[in-house]
Chain A
């Protein structure tokens, strides 16, 4: 039984990291699209999103089988539930990548406007948070995970600044409202990438320490299985 569980956990770990590397590639490609929109690349990202959806279902299925067949407890149970949750977060990041690529194509159809440096900076930081959250999962490092959680506020702040600036630009140049709306949407999507990275980091803290830190600001809820 222990050998079966160990084998199942190893497979889940590998599948999740394969999924994360694909999703990271997708989000990088999508963010790069903002600078140089490319319809073919957007279609490719949409297809990759379908593959990620399949992988998400497969990982969830494997997690449920592992739970049913091995009835794990303690850290093994936390590992399986964490893999299932991170897989869900990554699937949503892949959806966001597809959305950002579509927004970039929308920008290509509109009059050319330069992408604000601040938006590129936010995109870079958000994608970096995702990478560090996965690093924390691989290294089982709750300190690294907490750092990721702490960086989310900076991204939220940048998003608010960018949106304020975009609204100002809309008032100033109403003829450019369509591309500015695409940028508005892209900014919110990138901010959500940081949110999902934060969720993954919180899951890592739960995996290592058995403590649920999500919504920690609203209520104290600590539970160790």
Chain B
């Protein structure tokens, strides 16, 4: 269309203008005034021609802009393309094809970016929720990723940690050394680190990120505190049980050897030695009986019948039996009953065992002129029996361990005071058996209070099903 109309119009106009110019130049003198009018007419014709040309070009450029602008919409682009003159259609054809190819590529990139974002989100969610701590650093030891577990294990309190140096945020010489070793030698490092403030035992594995050159390192942290504590408890248990069993046996053997090999021993000495043999045998016997008893409680071999037990009566019996020992030490043994009588769901004999152990311990660890008080009351849906003394108290850091078998706060002195070292362990297991618990509150130099919580009658929900452990389920039963 452009070539067919515009070209010929321009061509004819140009020829006409050229002829007129030639005629005017040759006949100027003859034309006179009419020549001026003719010139003006010619000027008007040229102006109209220019206006028409400008309008035409503007429409063409608009069509071109719309066609190019619609490159990402193939249907619209096709429609616009067909409206263009054939010359422009030919000119825009390669551009149109390139636009289509570009569009397909852009769509592919968008799809890949979306998939990548989804994968990144999934990976981030996995790393954030994983039980292990994960930290990623670059070669400058700048933090690229830290999950919540790592924050907790490494005692990171700063909110903004990303892009900050590891040595500024974590401030652990052991962790920093491990990371530096991996970044310089590219060899994996595995070690256990004790965090100085929380005392958590953390297994640390540092690995170089797989690329060349190494782009950084990844730290994987696992909390080993419980496992190491259990190992320590197991070691202590083996040591303690060996010691507790060997000590009386060694004494018995020594006294028996003396009696056998020393014929000059007088009657008084013989009696002393024999009494010692008997007392050590009794001690050994008590330990073995307590161990068997503890085993039976744990395995629930004994058929304990949980029934309504009046606490006041059991406390009165218990205190009556211990009164002589307390008076001998000049310790005031007293009870403070509640206004309303209390009954709990337990076995009467076993509740008596619990109280015997607690009152016996309280008398043992209270100095002369001290006081031991037993109180009981109802608190919500539990009955609470507390045994309070004003004795030496238990150091705070050892209170958590006193319910372990054979654990003694002051090894030398505690053995002198007697006992098998299993009393509190039996108390704890009996309380758990009846769906209750025992806890201690103590202050050095001021005394201790043991509180036994047992379910009330009508709240059988607290009694655990046979064969289940109500507390410390993650701790091997043999160590509790």
Chain A residues within 8 Å of B157, by CB: 135
Task: Please measure, in the bound complex, the distance between the C-alpha atom of A22 and the C-alpha atom of B171, giving whole angstroms.
Answer: 9
Interface hits, A15-40 → B, CB 8 Å = 17-18, 20-22, 24-25, 28-29, 35
Task: Please measure, in the bound complex, the distance between the C-alpha atom of A128 and the C-alpha atom of B158, giving whole angstroms.
Answer: 16
Query: Given the known A-B contacts A116-B444, A120-B397, are A25 and B196 also in contact in the complex, defined by CB atoms under 8 Å?
Result: yes
B residues with a Cβ closer than 8 A to A are 157-158, 165, 167-168, 171-174, 176, 196-197, 395-397, 409-413, 443-444
Closest 6 CB pairs of A and B: A28-B196, A21-B171, A21-B173, A117-B396, A22-B173, A114-B395
CB distance from B178 to the nearest CB of A (A): 13
Nearest opposing residue in chain A for B175, CB measure: A21
Nearest opposing residue in chain B for A128, CB measure: B197
A105-141 vs B, CB cutoff 8 Å, 1 = contact: the mask equals 0000000101111001000000110010011001100
A7 at the interface (CB under 8 A from B): no
CB distance from B90 to the nearest CB of A (A): 59
Are A18 and B197 in contact, CB atoms less than 8 angstroms apart?
no
Task: Please measure, in the bound complex, the distance between the C-alpha atom of A127 and the C-alpha atom of B198, giving whole angstroms.
Answer: 12
CB distance from A130 to the nearest CB of B (A): 11
Query: Given the known A-B contacts A21-B171, A131-B197, A135-B157, are A120 and B412 also in contact in the complex, defined by CB atoms under 8 Å?
Result: no
Are A114 and B444 in contact, CB atoms less than 8 angstroms apart?
yes
Task: Please measure, in the bound complex, the distance between the C-alpha atom of A25 and the C-alpha atom of B158, giving whole angstroms.
Answer: 20
Are B196 and A24 in contact, CB atoms less than 8 angstroms apart?
yes
Nearest opposing residue in chain A for B394, CB measure: A114
Are B171 and A134 in contact, CB atoms less than 8 angstroms apart?
yes
Are B395 and A117 in contact, CB atoms less than 8 angstroms apart?
yes
Query: Given the known A-B contacts A114-B395, A114-B444, A120-B397, are A18 and B196 also in contact in the complex, defined by CB atoms under 8 Å?
Result: no
A14 at the interface (CB under 8 A from B): yes
Nearest opposing residue in chain A for B160, CB measure: A139
The tally of CB-CB contacts under 8 A between chains A and B is 51
- Which of B168, B196, B410 has a CB less than 8 Å from the CB of A138? B168
A65-93 vs B, CB cutoff 8 Å, 1 = contact: the mask equals 00000000000000000000000000000
Contacts A18-B173, A115-B395 known; list 13 others, CB within 8 Å. A13-B168, A14-B167, A21-B173, A24-B196, A28-B197, A29-B196, A112-B410, A114-B409, A117-B396, A117-B443, A120-B397, A128-B197, A131-B197
Task: Please measure, in the bound complex, the distance between the C-alpha atom of A131 and the C-alpha atom of B197, giving whole angstroms.
Answer: 9
CB distance from B366 to the nearest CB of A (A): 16
Chain A residues within 8 Å of B176, by CB: 18, 21
Query: Given the known A-B contacts A116-B444, A131-B197, A135-B157, are A35 and B171 also in contact in the complex, defined by CB atoms under 8 Å?
Result: no
CB distance from B151 to the nearest CB of A (A): 15
CB distance from B360 to the nearest CB of A (A): 22
Query: Given the known A-B contacts A28-B197, A114-B444, A117-B395, are A17 and B412 also in contact in the complex, defined by CB atoms under 8 Å?
Result: no
- Which of B173, B397, B411, B444 has a CB less than 8 Å from the CB of A25? B173
Chain B residues within 8 Å of A114, by CB: 395, 409-410, 444
Chain B residues within 8 Å of A112, by CB: 410-413
CB distance from A180 to the nearest CB of B (A): 14
Chain A residues within 8 Å of B165, by CB: 14
Are B410 and A17 in contact, CB atoms less than 8 angstroms apart?
no
Task: Please measure, in the bound complex, the distance between the C-alpha atom of A22 and the C-alpha atom of B196, giving whole angstroms.
Answer: 10
CB distance from B402 to the nearest CB of A (A): 13
Most buried by A among B196, B197, B413, B444: B196
Nearest opposing residue in chain B for A111, CB measure: B412
A sample of 23 cross-chain residue pairs with beta-carbon separation below 8 angstroms, ordered by A number, consists of A17-B171, A18-B173, A18-B176, A20-B171, A21-B172, A21-B173, A24-B171, A25-B172, A25-B173, A25-B196, A28-B196, A29-B196, A114-B409, A114-B444, A115-B395, A116-B444, A120-B396, A127-B197, A128-B197, A134-B171, A135-B157, A138-B158, A138-B168
Chain B residues within 8 Å of A138, by CB: 158, 168, 171
Interface hits, A134-151 → B, CB 8 Å = 134-135, 138-139
Most buried by A among B168, B173, B197, B396: B173
Chain B residues within 8 Å of A115, by CB: 395
Nearest opposing residue in chain A for B174, CB measure: A25
Task: Please measure, in the bound complex, the distance between the C-alpha atom of A131 and the C-alpha atom of B155, giving whole angstroms.
Answer: 11
Task: Please measure, in the bound complex, the distance between the C-alpha atom of A106 and the C-alpha atom of B176, giving whole angstroms.
Answer: 33
Task: Please measure, in the bound complex, the distance between the C-alpha atom of A132 and the C-alpha atom of B157, giving whole angstroms.
Answer: 11
Chain B residues within 8 Å of A28, by CB: 196-197
Most buried by B among A25, A114, A128, A138: A114
Chain B residues within 8 Å of A21, by CB: 167, 171-173, 176
Chain A residues within 8 Å of B174, by CB: 25
Are B168 and A17 in contact, CB atoms less than 8 angstroms apart?
yes
Task: Please measure, in the bound complex, the distance between the C-alpha atom of A128 and the C-alpha atom of B197, giving whole angstroms.
Answer: 8
CB distance from B153 to the nearest CB of A (A): 16
Chain A residues within 8 Å of B412, by CB: 112
Chain A residues within 8 Å of B395, by CB: 114-115, 117
Chain A residues within 8 Å of B158, by CB: 138-139
Chain A residues within 8 Å of B167, by CB: 14, 17-18, 21
CB distance from B17 to the nearest CB of A (A): 73
Task: Please measure, in the bound complex, the distance between the C-alpha atom of A17 and the C-alpha atom of B141, giving whole angstroms.
Answer: 14
Chain A residues within 8 Å of B197, by CB: 28, 127-128, 131
CB distance from B457 to the nearest CB of A (A): 39
CB distance from B32 to the nearest CB of A (A): 86
Nearest opposing residue in chain B for A27, CB measure: B196
Chain B residues within 8 Å of A17, by CB: 167-168, 171
Most buried by B among A13, A17, A135: A17
Nearest opposing residue in chain B for A169, CB measure: B445
Chain B residues within 8 Å of A22, by CB: 173
CB distance from A172 to the nearest CB of B (A): 11
Chain A residues within 8 Å of B396, by CB: 117, 120
